[in-house]
Chains A and B, each alone.
Chain A
């Protein structure tokens, strides 16, 4: 098949991502045509931009239906490969994108609407590109397509000191992580002599020690995106220093991109003896440290944002265990994607509820600010309750299946080694520690509060956002098959 045909087919199959990218770029240019300053009609502008972004997303979704199911074997040589992983990454993007645009509807910064939505759409377009990439170059470009708009977003939503600190911190550390990643990629290329991922994966088992080093460097770079310890330090400061909506963005999109890239690099096709003897212990150790550090530090927090940041770190630890199951080929990649989908519903639902409480004039920065919220804002409190129960991992919520599948993957077929058992038990006890601090938040919501002024401002978009998340969290418990 000639190269031109490959490119044409790839473009057809990448059409959702391309639509998002074009839509994002156009929205970014749109600021020229809109009136700024005191005279403008901010509400109609908010609605207009949100509707435009939503339309772009819907177009992307329609394109993904229209394009049909890609045939796998045809495009293995090109920059992109459309297997089930690529489709799952797309679905996760659509899910997150839909909720995030709803959350942004009334919370986007008034002075920078077009830049905000433009960046958001470009970030969304990055994940399908990462998910479909079959080449080191497209993988790296996809990841940068995600991080560069993130710097802009962090810079424009909040311009005070904490916002500037968050943006700068994220920028510096992200650039640092990208360097690690690039160094790893150059080693990979050096060892194998090709940038094609399939060729590289075929060569994992060549017994060269340099291969393991290259993979470790790549994993260092990606650990930053997924907030794995020791690359998690930015998370609490960034979550704390930015708006609720953007904290939601930061908790979800980079994590999805990072894990999708990890699956792309080491998750499919088997690592082989020599590479996996290095990679799996590293992954297990990293998972153990990540979940323990995340949970123990979250326990000590009174600041809700920092608590959620550390809880996001802890979930990365659980996801890394799922990745181990995947690398060992004990479970298929859906164990990760399902976890991420459940994570989207519960975490974004949680941020949407907090966003609504803030939009209605309440405060949600410290746990204590939520005291008695049930009596002030019952609907958002019920959303928070469902999210928290799901984050704990109790049944009747999607979070239960998410944890269950990780457990099933890690102890599959009675693996004889005691390491996996130890990791599973460690994860179980981490989940208990996590239940402690989630319960602290949960019980605060229902505590009696002296100031009982109800919060009456109603934001339909945020209300829809968390209603969708809450419904999904519960429905996915009963119909887990669609959670992928």
Chain B
């Protein structure tokens, strides 16, 4: 019984409830509580990473084998009905393997820094903002540590409630109301049909006479023993739900509107962690539990969509002038690499994609934090004019922006390179055509990244243009000239060091989850070879 897992969910949730109940008329008095809770959550997530890292490797024939578990018998919720003569029960199972631990760490880091930065960024109802932020962090932690279908789904859906309030209540872009509505409807359009898929997954054992189960461990064991398990439509329902969340290509339209409308500080959490929910769902549910249908039905299609997203996102990012939208489309483009890696279904691809989930989370959150700081000083950042020369005015900010832009563009030695390279290497063994398209995207990616640096940072002394106007809030003139305060650059520097560490020593960080991705690829790799013998094999065996 590991009590770290429930406390990861309960600590931020409790803090959120306390702040909402007590902080109503107290202005900023509850802000320290929020910061403290987020720091505790970060420490807890670091503790979990160490526990998982040091735990003996779990046994079990299934593809999902968490190293730490929390399975209280007392927390069994029985529904008042029986379906197909079987009572329906939800036994809460929390657990973490390497993949979960990595994403828990990402949530901890991004959540903590987002809340710390919010104390400077958010000027109205700061404590309430933090409370909702903590509630979303709690639900996100819940998704990453749940080891049964129902908890996974409940947390997956519950994230929505605080997020729409955050987008709507603190959005300072264009029309946050309609953006939050679009976000809600798009996400629900994926996740409500997904319930049907999840129920079918849970009921599938009943077809062969076994009791239905919702535990990931049991289900993955069944799926490994009997690969043709469940119907093919299940995988489509699941991919619809997760695809919308990760903004896969034709279903991505909610993402730019949401990112353009929400406060960039909120967006940093959405882009780095919430968008990962879809990818995490694919690697946690779709690949281990429905691998057969995935390989025969959807693997190449989704992989190709990922590759197209890389190119499409980059091309659109090149044409946009609002920096928020540029970053939104660059996020679509980068998530394409992760999709690509996941859909290769082999050991390089899966581990590369998992690592890249973490990397992309760090990089994109930092970009949005920097954007928030810029907007606080200058109003909306537009790239329609060249030579804004902000580097002269904000040297510290400029250094960090250049660093994260290069990390995102995949500079060797930084973390973005490792993940994207591994993902493409994995896909190379499945389909060279898809990788060829993706490589095109990396060139375009470097182009729009350097365009940001060149237009915003360099080429002038920074005094010429005051673009737009300050939206919603008025900034005193003196603070618009200030470079980053220590509280602002310190989180960014910490994240930058992490990026550098992963970039230089990727093996060290991949040790955390390598065993878990290998366990999956051991099942899927032969199946892929059997299913697609004729795909172009550029790499000889």
A interface residues, Cβ below 8 angstroms from B: 325, 330-332, 334-335, 337-338, 389, 392-396, 400-401, 403-405, 407-409, 411-414, 421, 424-425, 428-429, 431-432, 435-436, 439-440, 443, 446-447, 478-484
Across the interface, do B193 and A404 meet the contact criterion of CB distance under 8 Å? no
Q: Given A409-B81, A411-B203, are A389 and B161 also a contact pair (CB < 8 Å)?
A: yes
Bitwise interface map of B from 164 to 185 toward A, beta carbon under 8 Å scored 1, else 0: 1000110000000100110011
Bound complex: CA A330 to CA B195 (Å): 18
Across the interface, do B196 and A331 meet the contact criterion of CB distance under 8 Å? no
Q: Given A443-B168, A446-B168, are A481 and B79 also a contact pair (CB < 8 Å)?
A: yes
Across the interface, do B81 and A332 meet the contact criterion of CB distance under 8 Å? yes
B200 in the interface (beta carbon within 8 A) = yes
Q: Which of A428, A435, A443 has the most CB of B within 10 A?
A: A428
Bitwise interface map of B from 204 to 245 toward A, beta carbon under 8 Å scored 1, else 0: 101100000000000000000000001101000100000000
CB within 8 A of A396: which of B80, B161, B231?
B161
Closest to A328 in B: B84
Across the interface, do A484 and B180 meet the contact criterion of CB distance under 8 Å? no
Q: Whole-angstrom distance from the CB of B207 to the nearest CB of chain A?
A: 5
CB within 8 A of B199: which of A338, A408, A431, A482?
A408
Across the interface, do A432 and B185 meet the contact criterion of CB distance under 8 Å? yes
Closest to B79 in A: A480
B55 in the interface (beta carbon within 8 A) = no
List 3 A-B pairs, minimum CB-CB distance, nearest first: A428-B192, A428-B193, A395-B154
Set of chain B residues within 8 Å of A411, measured between Cβ atoms: 196, 199-200, 203
CB within 8 A of A330: which of B79, B83, B164?
B83
Closest to B150 in A: A404
Q: Whole-angstrom distance from the CB of A295 to the nearest CB of chain B?
A: 13
Q: Whole-angstrom distance from the CB of B293 to the nearest CB of chain A?
A: 13
B82 in the interface (beta carbon within 8 A) = yes
Set of chain B residues within 8 Å of A396, measured between Cβ atoms: 154, 158, 161
Across the interface, do B206 and A413 meet the contact criterion of CB distance under 8 Å? yes
Interface size class of B (residues with CB under 8 A): 35 or more
Across the interface, do B203 and A435 meet the contact criterion of CB distance under 8 Å? no
Across the interface, do A443 and B181 meet the contact criterion of CB distance under 8 Å? yes
Set of chain B residues within 8 Å of A407, measured between Cβ atoms: 195-196, 199
Set of chain A residues within 8 Å of B298, measured between Cβ atoms: none
Dominant secondary structure at the A interface: helix
Across the interface, do A439 and B83 meet the contact criterion of CB distance under 8 Å? no
- Other A-B contacts than A425-B237, A428-B192, 9 sampled, CB-CB below 8 A, are A334-B80, A404-B79, A408-B199, A409-B81, A413-B206, A414-B200, A414-B207, A429-B189, A481-B78
Across the interface, do B185 and A408 meet the contact criterion of CB distance under 8 Å? no
CB within 8 A of A412: which of B80, B84, B169, B193?
B84
Bound complex: CA A332 to CA B85 (Å): 8
Set of chain A residues within 8 Å of B237, measured between Cβ atoms: 425
Across the interface, do A395 and B158 meet the contact criterion of CB distance under 8 Å? yes
Set of chain A residues within 8 Å of B203, measured between Cβ atoms: 408, 411-414
Set of chain B residues within 8 Å of A335, measured between Cβ atoms: 81, 83
A-B contact pairs, 15 of them (CB 8 A): A332-B82, A389-B161, A395-B157, A400-B154, A405-B79, A405-B81, A408-B203, A411-B196, A412-B83, A413-B84, A421-B196, A429-B192, A431-B192, A439-B185, A482-B80
B77 in the interface (beta carbon within 8 A) = yes
